[in-house]
Structure 1
Amino acid sequence: MSAENELLLIMERISDLTATDAEIAQFNAWCDGFKAQEIQVENFDAVSERVLLQVHRRINKKPNVFLPLYMKLGAAVAVAVFIFSVWFFSSRVKSIEEIRYAADIAPGRTGATLTLGSGKKVNIGLATAGDLAMESGVKISKNASGDIIYTIMPDNKVTADAVNTLETSRGQQTQVQLPDGSRIFLNAASSLTYPASFANKKERRISLSGEGYFEIAKDKAHPFIVDTRGQELKVLGTHFNINAYSTEAVSKTTLLEGSIVVSTATSQQILTPGTELINNGSSLQVKQVDTELAIAWKNNLFLFDNEELGTIMRQVERWYDVEVIFVDGISKERFGGGVSRFDSVSKLLKSLQATGKVQFQIKGRKIYVTK
């Protein structure tokens, strides 16, 4: 391809916001060369006419009626107009990244909705720090960090009837400390159902939908059981992560400390630290993993290692509360790297786009993905 045709092609892509970072850098380098008169283009009159026409069409959105007059003024003026037009266009090009991500989206935040046994709903994000409710002899409060704390009150008779549900929407995360001292971190678009108190119960049973990280207080006499997506996890005291979103093809249970017995209707597996159980609905698979990847979200990170783009973008949807649209179909490309979950979405997208494998454009709360 000739230099002039390549230049026009890149200008076309830049105007349509589909140019790669490499193409933008190449165009800007060309502009600097033209201004320094270090780059020569064959058939300059013809080239400058074509480029000028493209410039005027793209910048003014219509053909410029004065274009033929430029060309009648001779090569010297044509060169000057050409260089000025390329410079003018390049000044727009340097801000393409800002245009592409002009509608940047802020990250999620701490928040949740707590539904008490009475049916009362409490918006945790809007509630001020302090006591939220008293139920079944248990005080429910919120600390300065936004965590929910359950405390058994010594002067109250504890009952075990009330069931609470803690739900995060897309763009929210929270954490809760149960009356037994167990701490649970709840990721976006997830829910946790549990009794307000484990008093007079032989086991500590809760249910999870979505993703949660668990730090379970040891109590050999009262096993901690988590029901989630067709499986049951039984623990005495341990640290583990469960990813059981209905939008994912499989559920994953990752063990960091202690041991877990995972049971389904047809099989059972025992996990040891550093292993992950994958449940696809019909079989269980256990493998060694880097546990830091599984709990990156809990540590406020997006962290990927050879992860498919579809999986990454579903995380983006949940945390940034956006809709992701794959214009060319879901890519099977895999990516590695990481950014803070406190960053705006554009930083994550730019890090993925820097690989040259994928392009993004934000429009409102929709993210368009192209190859």
Structure 2
Amino acid sequence: MEITKLIIKKLTSKLSGAEEKEFDSWLHSSHENREIFDRITLIQKSGKDIRELETLDEITAWNKILQKVDTNKASRKRTLWTRPIFRYAAIFLGLLGFTFWYLFSPLQTQEKIMPPDKNAITLQLENGEVKVLSEDGSSQIKDKEGNLVVTKKGSNLAYSDSASVEKLVYNTLTVPYAKRFGIQLSDGTKIHLNSGSSIKYPVKFIKGANREVFLSGEAFFEVAEDAERPFMVSSDDLVVKVLGTTFNVKAYPEDQEINTVLVSGSVGLSNKDNQTTDSTLLEPGHMASWDKTSNTMAMEAVDTDLHTSWIYGRLILKRTPFEQIVPKLQRHYNISITNNYPILNDQVFTASYDIETIEEVMGSLSEIIPFYFEVDGNEITINKPKN
């Protein structure tokens, strides 16, 4: 209904000059129209009562609305209409239902946003609105003009280069422990975001601007080649700059180092505060480790599978110290581990896990190097082995 769109724009202060005249013409054309708009305005201010009215028949719902309007007007005689009410109430409730859906739907409201569960995958939009994402099903997010910005299919977001965005507009994807999520950026670059991570990125890359994203945590990148626009990943003090390549960046805030593993192509790494100097070039099959305290870089040859297996839900250990295994397990399984057997920290383990439960993983590790553990919900306590 055209008038519904005008009412929505009126309530959100978005009417053009011509639309304002059209709305005023409708508003003053009949007493009924004025009553309809007055009541929609009233209900908008206390939208919590709408859902109650939706469950009632038209006459009862309309009478309830009249009661709300007249609550503080004791001198006014209440009038319950009879024959005209069916047409009047039907028009009102139809307009009210659609208007309420628009004004209070998750895609439109910017107020009274309930904080999401800390274990939920969330997408924060440019306006601060937070969307909770499921790992299955499909959905769409559109901009204010109704243009498609992003499509969600399963555990992946896909952004369109045709989105009507003329300036840098950012979204932030946050993934909690024990979950992973994927993104395809507007240029075709694919990002796999690991558990306990978040990444801020443009909805659409703008011509003349660098392709830059901001990472906290761990992500694997498959960068679409663009010789004119380098792709940059910023994490704490480190900037990874590429043209087209596949690589993994691990930059959890609690870690001492930022690790970049190059699978193919080439990347340059530099200090965020000193990008004018020559960057350190990394070769495929190598890892660069940036020490946050000393601001130094070290490089070594590595088995890239050890650092990228998480993309496929696998956890591969190869002579890995237990002290480094603990945070991997905590992120992978969303658990907390308390180690009261410190001698275990320097012990190294070689193993591979896929679909095992945390109890099975801990049991397997304790067979390699004996230790005692107890599981209480999401809490695991490690002690020295019992005699």
Instruction: Give the structure-1-normalised TM-score.
Output: 0.66
Q: Structure 1 regions of 5+ residues with no counterpart?
A: 1-109
2:324 to 298, 303, 311: 311
Determine if contact 1:163/1:194 at 8 Å carries over to the other structure. yes
Aligned to 2:383: 370
In 1, the alpha carbon distance for the partners of 2:323 and 2:339 equals 9
In 1, the alpha carbon distance for the partners of 2:371 and 2:303 equals 26
In 1, the alpha carbon distance for the partners of 2:207 and 2:167 equals 7
In 2, the alpha carbon distance for the partners of 1:131 and 1:312 equals 38
Aligned to 1:112: 121
Q: Note the 1:177-326 alignment, pairs <5 A.
A: 177-264=184-271, 265=273, 268-281=279-292, 282-326=295-339
Residue 181 of structure 1: SS of its match in structure 2?
Answer: coil
How far off is 1:120 after superposition?
1.6
Determine if contact 1:202/1:221 at 8 Å carries over to the other structure. no
In 2, the alpha carbon distance for the partners of 1:176 and 1:294 equals 19
Determine if contact 1:172/1:188 at 8 Å carries over to the other structure. yes
Residue 297 of structure 1: SS of its match in structure 2?
Answer: helix
Aligned to 1:66: none
Q: Deviations over 1:278-308 (max 9, x none)?
A: 1112210011100000101112101011111
How far off is 1:161 after superposition?
3.1
Determine if contact 1:242/1:252 at 8 Å carries over to the other structure. yes
In 2, the alpha carbon distance for the partners of 1:138 and 1:284 equals 42
Do structure 1's residue 169 and structure 2's residue 151 form an aligned pair? Answer: no
Count residues with an aligned counterpart.
258
In 1, the alpha carbon distance for the partners of 2:280 and 2:380 equals 40
In 1, the alpha carbon distance for the partners of 2:144 and 2:357 equals 39
Instruction: Give the structure-2-normalised TM-score.
Output: 0.63
Aligned to 1:148: 157
One-letter code aligned to 2:288: L
One-letter code aligned to 2:152: K
Q: Note the 1:84-163 alignment, pairs <5 A.
A: 112-125=121-134, 128-134=137-143, 139-143=149-153, 145-153=154-162, 157-163=164-170
Determine if contact 2:288/2:299 at 8 Å carries over to the other structure. yes
In 2, the alpha carbon distance for the partners of 1:112 and 1:148 equals 12
Q: Deviations over 1:12-34 (max 9, x none)?
A: xxxxxxxxxxxxxxxxxxxxxxx
Determine if contact 2:226/2:243 at 8 Å carries over to the other structure. yes
How far off is 1:199 after superposition?
2.2
In 1, the alpha carbon distance for the partners of 2:363 and 2:231 equals 42
In 1, the alpha carbon distance for the partners of 2:336 and 2:157 equals 30
In 2, the alpha carbon distance for the partners of 1:119 and 1:258 equals 36
Determine if contact 2:326/2:337 at 8 Å carries over to the other structure. yes
1:337 to 351, 354, 362: 351
In 1, the alpha carbon distance for the partners of 2:142 and 2:371 equals 49
Aligned to 1:88: none
How far off is 1:169 after superposition?
1.4
Residue 296 of structure 1: SS of its match in structure 2?
Answer: helix
How far off is 1:242 after superposition?
0.5
Q: Note the 1:16-35 alignment, pairs <5 A.
A: none
Aligned to 2:18: none
One-letter code aligned to 1:157: S
How far off is 1:171 after superposition?
2.0
Residue 176 of structure 1: SS of its match in structure 2?
Answer: strand
One-letter code aligned to 2:265: G
In 1, the alpha carbon distance for the partners of 2:376 and 2:314 equals 24
Determine if contact 1:193/1:208 at 8 Å carries over to the other structure. yes
Aligned to 1:94: none
One-letter code aligned to 2:128: G
How far off is 1:200 after superposition?
2.3
One-letter code aligned to 2:129: K
How far off is 1:124 after superposition?
1.0
In 2, the alpha carbon distance for the partners of 1:328 and 1:359 equals 9
With over 3 angstroms needed to count, the CA separation of the structure-2 counterparts of 1:135 and 1:257, relative to structure 1, is farther
How far off is 1:128 after superposition?
3.8
Higher relative contact order (CA 8 A, sep 6+): 1
How far off is 1:111 after superposition?
6.2
Percent of residue pairs bearing the same amino acid type: 26
Determine if contact 2:174/2:198 at 8 Å carries over to the other structure. yes
Residue 227 of structure 1: SS of its match in structure 2?
Answer: strand
Residue 314 of structure 1: SS of its match in structure 2?
Answer: helix
Task: Give the superposed CA RMSD.
Answer: 2.0
Determine if contact 1:152/1:158 at 8 Å carries over to the other structure. no
